[in-house]
Structure 1
Amino acid sequence: MSARWLVVLAVLEACVRACSAQWLPATATFYGGKDGSGTMGGACGYGNLYDAGYGINNAALSSVLFDDGASCGQCYTITCDASKSAYCKPGNAITVSATNDSGWCNPPRPHFDMSQPAWEHIGIYQGGIIPVQYQRVKCSRTGGVRFVINGCNYFELVNIQNLSGSGSVGAAWIKGTNTGWIQMSRNWGANWQSNAALVGQGLSFAITSTGGQYIQFLDVAPAWWQFGQTFTTNQNFDY
């Protein structure tokens, strides 16, 4: 096959992917103040969203979207539906990261409670609540995956942050210097736990993203690690 036809096929494939992307209806409000400071923390457990890699473009998701924390870190592009509201800024879209559970609306209603700066990119302040359309999209992050280690002597609670690609954790494992791989379970939000006595051992982690990519993060924490510390890697996800 000629190079020309390969290019044509690649363009057609890209068009098919773009056209097959589905926009879904939802509603959106805002919280956290004009500087977004009130969005820090949240039900994913990320704490300071700048330190965790998410910044100001974030949103709390309604229960059906939050999925008990399984959606923590995922990215969504949102645009105001100007066909349904005069409070839209037509042609504008914003990509936000899921960092909190809004507790707003009864399931199964999809809703985004966005940081005020992100919301005002697509909506007019006086609107309060606006109809939107959204897509889940690939996340782009700066730097590698981060691990925040909390817990106690026989219990590790690890907040896993800053995933690119699908943005969220599907499965996680931990390994001490003197152990094999130990499967972790989701405790809450983006916090994953293991019931193992790993104090005094160097730690490695492995993650399968919700996109299906598996990465081992070896020798992340030295044997002298302490609870409350954050360790940053130079690896991240493509999908």
Structure 2
Amino acid sequence: MSSMCSSRISNRFRPNAIVNGGWDDARATFYGDMTGAATMKGACGYGDLFQQGYGLETAALSTALFNNGEACGACFEIMCVNDPKWCLPGTIRITATNFCPPNYTKTVGVWCNPPQKHFDLSMPMFLKIAQYRAGVVPVKFRRVLCAKQGGVKFEISGNPYWNIVLVYNVGGVGDVTDVKIKGSGNWIQMVRDWGQKWKTGSVLTGQSLSFQVTTSNGKMLQFDNVADPSWQFGKTYDGRKNF
């Protein structure tokens, strides 16, 4: 990396905002248009990214980075490098909210195929680091801490016989590795359904709900009585604190 890039990196960001200090190589493209409508929902289980606080600062990750959904919620700092014709100065920070699927019918220009590391950005975020006509650019990236406003959120869906909980707006390292739920009894281990949706087959209607959430750095927070006994499916409940 050039001395100019190194200076820009070290002067702009505090070390305590970095999950790991090493920069790695990847490529970046964009999908959708300036509205970001195409980036909503997706393989991590999130819904309306504007309502959920992620906005357009998001990306779909290639197979090598997505890690079967375990990377959902992780945050990355990205900058365009080694292409002076198309790169723009500065960096962006995004949250992983989707999956960029591989295409094994092609062997050229398929950036999301393993083992390539790739970020498919929203168009507004891509245009912050590269010109539109570039299409695809080389980038440097690293994991950073996620700065989220408000508490961790729990969106509950399912039916009286099983529950699926979307855990979102997670600060700190951002990616959740374990969730437990408790009604009026003991703690119940939830299993990852897909992305950051977690499920259990326990009947918990009519009981107040608490959660234990663990992120990939091993930090666990307990959220007591997040939802009172009158909670409803399809509603979102605020944990009132964050990592």
Instruction: Give TM-score, length-normalised by structure 1.
Output: 0.88
Residue deviations 1:85-105, cap 9 Å, x none?
Answer: 52111x310000000001142
Gaps of 5+ in 2: 1-13, 103-111
Please tell me whether the aligned partners of residues 210 and 225 of structure 2 are also in contact (alpha carbons under 8 angstroms).
yes
Counterpart for residue 145 of structure 1: 152
Q: Which amino acid aligns with 1:86?
A: K
Q: Tell me the secondary structure at the aligned position of residue 64 of structure 1.
A: helix
Please tell me whether the aligned partners of residues 17 and 144 of structure 2 are also in contact (alpha carbons under 8 angstroms).
no
Gaps of 5+ in 1: 1-13
Distance in 2 between residues matched to 1:106 and 1:46, nearest whole Å: 23
Distance in 2 between residues matched to 1:17 and 1:228, nearest whole Å: 34
- Tell me if 1:54 matches 2:54: yes
Please tell me whether the aligned partners of residues 17 and 145 of structure 2 are also in contact (alpha carbons under 8 angstroms).
no
Cα gap change, 1:103 to 1:17, in 2 (>3 Å) = closer
- Tell me if 1:219 matches 2:225: yes
Match of 2:99 among 77, 98, 101: 101
Residue 226 of structure 1 deviates from its aligned partner by 1.3
Distance in 2 between residues matched to 1:98 and 1:190, nearest whole Å: 11
Instruction: Give TM-score, length-normalised by structure 2.
Output: 0.87
Distance in 2 between residues matched to 1:73 and 1:190, nearest whole Å: 8
Query: Of the two, which has the highest radius of gyration?
Result: 1
Distance in 2 between residues matched to 1:215 and 1:15, nearest whole Å: 24
Counterpart for residue 204 of structure 2: 198
Q: Tell me the secondary structure at the aligned position of residue 150 of structure 2.
A: coil
- Tell me if 1:87 matches 2:95: no
Count of residue correspondences: 220
Cα gap change, 1:186 to 1:228, in 2 (>3 Å) = same
Residue deviations 1:26-60, cap 9 Å, x none?
Answer: 01000121121221111111101122221111000
Percent pairwise identity: 44
Distance in 2 between residues matched to 1:197 and 1:17, nearest whole Å: 40
